[in-house]
Amino acid sequence: MLRRIEILVLGAILLVAALSTGAEFLFFLVYLGILVVGGAYVVTRFGLADLEAGYVLDRVHAQAGDMLRASYTVRNTSRLPKLWLEVHNPTTLPVPLPGQAITLTPRSEKSWTVRVPLSRRGHYRIEPLALRTGDPLGLFESQASVGSPSTVIVYPRVEPLPGWRLPPAFIEGSHATPVRTPHTTPHATSIRPYAPGDAYNRIHWKSTARQTELQVKEFDLEQTADVWIYLDLDAQAHAGRGDDSTIEYGVRAAAAIAARALLENRAVAFSASGRQRTVLPPDRGPRQYQKVMRLLAAVAADGEEPLSTLLVEGSTRLRRGMTAVAITPSLDRNWIRPMASWRQRGVETIVVLLDAIAFTAVERIAHGLNRVDEVEQADDLRAARAVRHALAEHDLAWHAITPGESIGAQLITAGPRAVAVSR
């Protein structure tokens, strides 16, 4: 814009000088300037005419650590060349999609592919494809948008838990068993020939029609009980920054536990209290997996309510035979009492305790802050010991999660663990 104003001022001065002096050379410069500026405008005005462009993403759902591939195609259908085109996608991805500046000959096209790593979980927006062109002097510019925006959801990284199992609940059928049952359950596993005494409502008519003899269905006992995951999103309780933070480790722990529970054919539910209260009812299968991962991709440590409030309000949804998993870095012991009362109601409990002191120490070391407030650290250490003592007093199973080690390895290690503090 500034260059355009400068050229207009210079042209006005030349025009005034030419009219005042009548010099042929000045009139030549005026005509040349009009020709150059007009030509630049025409080149820019038709620079995006007769163009076809588009892009395709290879996925809209991914996990942290995957690569996103975008394929672009720009086609020139006119008889005139396109001397300069800038093509890019504005996006909120952690690593932006790189653009390209290309030149197209008449009736030609160009295709290319770019790859970017999806390093961080979240919901990201990719804007429509932006095309921009201009003249060599930079006086005029023309731009257009093609297509519609897209949303890419990056799920948290799911770590396998091959040697870890949720505890069985206190009801029949709360653990996997191949034992057949004479009762009708939702799990029909096989068929067999009809035997005297079989109920008529167990006859499988399609198999009977195919095999020309009566076939009845066999059922398994209900194999699993519901798992309810509570994720603490209280901003005051969390510590650390980036990947080495309690919120990221908590999200990954929730993802690993949910994936493992769904693999065991358990019905998984999820509850968290951030800026908005999130409650996902229990369900099974791949669709529930996507729902849980979609929620975990978006959560942040931005809540104002303590975990104790979330647990008290969620106690009405729990029933005998369920398993409740609480994931928290909180050093406040008030959340332990609600979980202890659940065990008296036949609800099994697990606590995933994120070591906020260790995460804070890692953050300070990463920023070169070696000095630690001794009084504040002593208070946190006393609070952490009080939490562990209260968990042991109420006989609540718990796992300590510290930075620098995989979630899977720390969850598989059963029983209390010492909290490591770096000075």
pLDDT in tens, 206-264: 888 888 888 888 765 444 568 999 999 999 999 988 888 999 999 999 999 999 999 88
Establish if 36 belongs to a structural domain.
no
Instruction: Specify the pLDDT at position 180.
Output: 45
**Angle 61-64-65 (CA atoms, 0-180°, nearest 5)?**
115
Establish if 286 belongs to a structural domain.
yes
Alpha-carbon torsion angle 190, 226, 159, 390, nearest 10 = -150
User: Are residue 236 and residue 376 in the same domain, yes or no?
Assistant: yes
The residue out of 220, 247, 270 marking a domain boundary is 220
Contacts of 16 (CB under 8 A, 6+ apart): none
User: Are residue 208 and residue 241 in the same domain, yes or no?
Assistant: no
Give the count of beta carbons closer than 10 Å to the beta carbon of residue 373. Answer: 9
Instruction: Specify the pLDDT at position 38.
Output: 78
Question: What is the chain's length?
Answer: 423
User: Are residue 197 and residue 89 in the same domain, yes or no?
Assistant: no
* pLDDT per position as a tens digit, 297-313: 999 999 989 999 999 99
User: Are residue 214 and residue 276 in the same domain, yes or no?
Assistant: no
Contacts of 206 (CB under 8 A, 6+ apart): none
Establish if 46 belongs to a structural domain.
no
pLDDT band for 2, please (50, 70, 90 cuts). low
**Angle 116-120-121 (CA atoms, 0-180°, nearest 5)?**
115
Residues 411 and 253 sit within 8 Å (Cβ to Cβ): yes
User: Are residue 263 and residue 345 in the same domain, yes or no?
Assistant: yes
Residue-range definition of the domain harbouring residue 116: 51-155
User: Are residue 137 and residue 249 in the same domain, yes or no?
Assistant: no
3-class SS at 335? helix
Number of structural domains, the chain? 3
Taking Cα atoms as reference points, which of 133, 126, 138, 136 lies closest to residue 50? 133
d(CA 271, CA 277): 8
Helix (H) or strand (E) holding 362: helix 356-366
At 3, give phi and psi (nearest 5°): -65, -35
**Residue 92 structure tokens:** 């909120």
Residues 152 and 57 sit within 8 Å (Cβ to Cβ): yes
Q: What is the pTM of this model?
A: 0.76
pLDDT band for 142, please (50, 70, 90 cuts). confident
User: Are residue 245 and residue 382 in the same domain, yes or no?
Assistant: yes
d(CA 334, CA 276): 22
Establish if 283 belongs to a structural domain.
yes
Q: What is the mean pLDDT of residues 267-295?
A: 91
Establish if 70 belongs to a structural domain.
yes
279 against 420, higher pLDDT: 279
Give the count of beta carbons closer than 10 Å to the beta carbon of residue 240. Answer: 24
Establish if 162 belongs to a structural domain.
no
